[in-house]
Copies of this chain bind each other. A is one copy, B any other.
Amino acid sequence: MYSIGDLSRRTGVKAPTIRYYEQMGLLEAPERSEGNQRRFAKAELERLAFIRHARDLGLTINSIRQLIGLSGHADRPCADADRIAKEQLASVRDRIAKLQKLEEELERIATCCTGETVGDCYVIRALSDHSLCGHEH
List A residues at the B interface (Cβ < 8 Å).
46, 49-50, 53-54, 56-58, 67, 70-71, 73-78, 81-82, 84-86, 88-89, 92-93, 95-96, 99-100, 102-103, 105-107, 109-110, 113, 115-121, 123-124, 127-128, 130, 137
**6 pairs, A vs B, C-beta closer than 8 Å:** A57-B137, A58-B102, A75-B117, A76-B118, A85-B113, A89-B103
Report the minimal beta-carbon distance from A44 to chain B, rounded to whole angstroms. Answer: 14
Give the nearest-CB partner of A137 in chain B: B56
Least CB distance, A79 to chain B, in whole angstroms: 9
Q: How far is the CA of A56 from the CA of B130 in the complex (A)?
A: 10
Contacts of A93 in B (CB 8 A): 103
Contact check, A124 vs B71: say whether CB atoms are below 8 A apart: yes
CB distance B100 to A70 under 8 Å?
no
Shortest Cβ distance from A103 into B: residue? B92
Which 4 A/B pairs are nearest by Cβ-Cβ distance? A74-B119, A78-B121, A85-B110, A56-B137
List of B residues within 8 angstroms of A99 by Cβ? 92, 95-96, 99
Q: Are B53 and A118 in contact (CB under 8 A)?
A: no
Q: Name A57's contact: one of B67, B84, B102 (CB within 8 Å).
A: B102
Q: Tell me the minimal C-beta distance from A59 to chain B in angstroms.
A: 8
Structural contact, B102 and A92, CB atoms closer than 8 A = yes
Residues of chain B lying within 8 A (CB to CB) of residue A57: 102, 105-106, 109, 127, 137
